[in-house]
Amino acid sequence: MNAFGTSFSQKRIGILGGSFNPAHRGHLHVSRYALDRLGLDEIWWMVSPQNPLKSSDGMADLSERISSAYLIAKDKRIRITDIEVKLRTTYTAETLYKLKRVYPKARFVWLMGADNLMQIPMWKDWKKIFKTVPIAVFTRPNFSKRALDGIAAKRFARYRINQAQTSQLCFMKAPAWTFVNIKPDPISATRVRTGIGAVNIY
């Protein structure tokens, strides 16, 4: 199975997963930094059919969330995908395992904010995520310090690389992760849903 009809041999691909309810400039902000700092060829915005840790209340239909992603992702290096539907997966650990089997020569990096680093011990088989692909964690307002003091950061502390090596992360064998300090964008999906910052794209 090939989700995009393209060969991904040796391509450096960042995966930014989430509900994208809706997609907003914060996703684009992190993606642009990741493309530059990690030396990626492209980033997949992996729109989740339903986050197991989130209520379906207030969750827009998958098609609506995908449409919002297309509206925001004004960069040809960003691909929008519902590949979890095609893979029939629900949990990130399982999705990444299957992606590596489908695209064995691609070099994947999982991208997430500091808030998710703090929460990741709640995810199913979270340690397998660290052991499957390298991970880049990005600054999030009010979360960074707590995340770096959290369970996951401490559990995999010896596998953390410094920022000087960030551009080589996709070539490293998992587990390997880094914390990338970027100028944070305070926008959030919650603020977008209330009409704040929805169209302020830069």
pLDDT, one tens digit per residue, over 54-64 is 666 668 899 99
Lowest mean pLDDT among 19-23, 110-114, 141-145: 141-145
Q: What is the rounded average pLDDT of the residues 37-55?
A: 85
Q: Is the pLDDT of residue 2 over 70?
A: no
Residue 40: pLDDT above 50?
Answer: yes
What's the rounded Cα separation, in Å, for the pair 73 and 96? 22
d(CA 96, CA 81): 14
> What number of CA atoms fall less than 13 Å from residue 19's CA on the CB side?
19
Where are the domains positioned within the chain?
Answer: 12-193
pLDDT at 142: 82
Higher per-residue pLDDT: 189 or 92: 92
- d(CA 35, CA 40) in angstroms, rounded, equals 5
- CATH number of the 12-193 domain: 3.40.50.620
- pTM for the model stands at 0.87
Sign, Cα dihedral of 30, 32, 36, 41: positive
